[in-house]
Amino acid sequence: MILEKLASVPFAMTVMEYRNRFLQLARYAPGDVAADGDKQEHFREGLDDHIQYALLNHCFDDFNELVDAALNTERKRQEIEDKKRKMALAASSSNMRPRYQHPQQQQYQARPP
């Protein structure tokens, strides 16, 4: 019950912050995390969707391996986001040639007499 509440909170924590909070709350629900497989299952449920997806088809020998994989996935995802951001900034820099624009047709307005 306690761990489900943690998993239902919108994900705004890093994996390490989530791990620390998870372990803190797990002390109050020892029956839910008595087996390592159950502990891993509850932990996965609270991870960010992108990280859950990346770890979906992986089996880990223990909880610590799962946490390590989640941390590595988070780190790599952050590197990719940073690279995208840098590329977007470089593309929008003033050193780029302006796009060719067709000359606008002049609109003539009749002057009142």
Instruction: List per-residue pLDDT tens for the chain, 113 residues long.
Output: 566 665 555 557 999 999 999 999 999 989 999 999 999 999 999 999 999 999 999 999 999 999 999 999 999 999 999 998 888 887 776 555 656 666 665 555 566 66
* C-alpha Rg value of the chain to the nearest Å: 26
Alpha helices in the chain (DSSP H): 2-8, 15-26, 36-45, 49-55, 63-91
Q: Cα separation of 88 and 81, whole Å?
A: 11
For the question of whether the overall pTM of this predicted structure is more than 0.85, the answer is no
Q: How far is CA 56 from the centre of its chain?
A: 15
Reference 29, options 58, 62, 7, 56; nearest CA is 7
Q: Cα separation of 48 and 15, whole Å?
A: 9
Query: What is residue 89's predicted lDDT score, i.e. its pLDDT?
Result: 81
Residue type, 19: R
